[in-house]
Copies of this chain bind each other. A is one copy, B any other.
Amino acid sequence: MNRQVLLRQRPQGLVSASTTECVNGSIPECSEGQALIRVGYLSIDPTIRTWMDDAPGYLPPIEIGAVIRSAGAGVVVESHTSRYNVGDIVIGMTGWQEWCLATEENKFSVVPRGMGLDLPTVMNVLGVTGITAWFGMTDVGQLADGDVVVVSGAAGATGSVAGQVAKARGASLVVGIAGGPEKCTEVVERFGFDACLDYREPHLARRLREICPRGVDVYFDNVGGEILDAVLLNIAMNGRIVLCGAISQYNDAGGFGLKNHTMMIMRRASMKGFIVLDYASRYAEAQLELGAMVLNGQLEHAEHLVEGLENAPQALNLLFSGGNHGKTLVVVDSSVALT
């Protein structure tokens, strides 16, 4: 049997009981050129919510009745291709299910053993989460020595890594934005940011101006909406805004109307959206530096484990309520392990 979570109805706002259905499918047959994978962990990313809408995106919407599209990790249990060996730990698009196939169209990457890192850590820091933070800060944001950097979603998986990469690469000031005093404390004390502002408190734009009086050189945006608008008021001359995500907008059909974009003319600022898939041929650059940082104890990271495939929809909602704590992973089978 292959338990699977299917899309039943496109959600309005957060995922609800009628959005998905957990069914008993069958384990797929593994043909020539394919490999069968037992899924161990699912990577719960905000982008999954955007795939549930019938709207233009960088990938087509998930079809009604289809397994929810998702990244994940698993172990190869049967292989009819030289690309994978039985026992390999692989990362790729598993979907929300217990078993999946690696095919010519759906390739997985094999995780090297012997790094001394566990699988959740690898999925977080060396997976798309960490890689997104790294390319967003270095390549899209063009971080330069002495820059003043602001990161929203700073307690989150991507944001916490983005800030630490900025700090390690010579930013003069790294300020986080997060929700609530507990997360703000964690951003400073655990992830080593210089300061962290609570967006739930009033006057964010004014508080940003106080802490970054000469303006923000790089803004790594994970949230969009009102927080982006507040940072626009404080953007420095030639400032760069990295549009990594807009988590505040994904459940909001109306969307927040950005009012301060004309500041980009006054300050000759730029704003650029990116998708980490565009850097696929260069992932190793990021993984090399991030892996070294972890092994040298220079990169703090947190994984938030949710037990059970059936809880994947609730795990996705955690990203929007702020109830998660670091990279959110669903444990489908904890026996799938690197070490």
CB < 8 Å neighbour of A261 from B258, B263, B269? B258
CA of A49 to CA of B198, assembled, Å? 36
Give the one of A57, A262, A263, A270 with max B CB within 10 A: A262
What 1/0 flags go to A252-277 for Cβ under 8 Å of B?
Answer: 00111111111111111111111100
Which residues of B have CB within 8 Å of A244?
265
Answer whether A266 and B58 are a contact pair too, CB < 8 Å, given A257-B257, A259-B257, A261-B258: yes
CB distance from A159 to the nearest CB of B (A): 15
Answer whether A268 and B264 are a contact pair too, CB < 8 Å, given A256-B257, A257-B258, A258-B257: no
- Decide if A262 touches B246 in the complex (CB within 8 Å): yes
**Is residue A243 within 8 Å, beta carbon to beta carbon, of the partner chain?**
yes
**Is residue A182 within 8 Å, beta carbon to beta carbon, of the partner chain?**
no
- Decide if A243 touches B257 in the complex (CB within 8 Å): no
- Decide if B273 touches A264 in the complex (CB within 8 Å): yes
CB distance from A216 to the nearest CB of B (A): 14
Chain A contact residues, CB within 8 Å of chain B: 56-58, 224, 228, 243-246, 249, 254-275, 278
Assembly stoichiometry (copies): 2
- Decide if B274 touches A265 in the complex (CB within 8 Å): yes
Which residues of B have CB within 8 Å of A261?
224, 228, 243, 246, 258, 261, 271
In the complex, the chain B residue whose C-beta lies closest to that of A252 is B259
Closest 3 CB pairs of A and B: A257-B257, A264-B273, A265-B273
Known: A269-B272, A270-B271. 19 other contacts (CB 8 A): A57-B266, A58-B267, A224-B261, A224-B262, A243-B261, A243-B264, A243-B265, A249-B262, A255-B260, A255-B262, A256-B259, A258-B258, A258-B259, A261-B271, A265-B275, A266-B275, A268-B273, A268-B274, A270-B273
Q: Would you list 24 pairs from A and B whose C-beta atoms are within 8 A, ordered by A residue?
A: A56-B263, A56-B266, A58-B265, A224-B261, A224-B262, A243-B262, A255-B262, A257-B257, A257-B259, A258-B258, A258-B261, A261-B261, A263-B273, A264-B271, A265-B273, A265-B275, A266-B273, A267-B273, A268-B272, A268-B273, A268-B274, A268-B278, A270-B270, A270-B273
CA of A221 to CA of B92, assembled, Å? 40
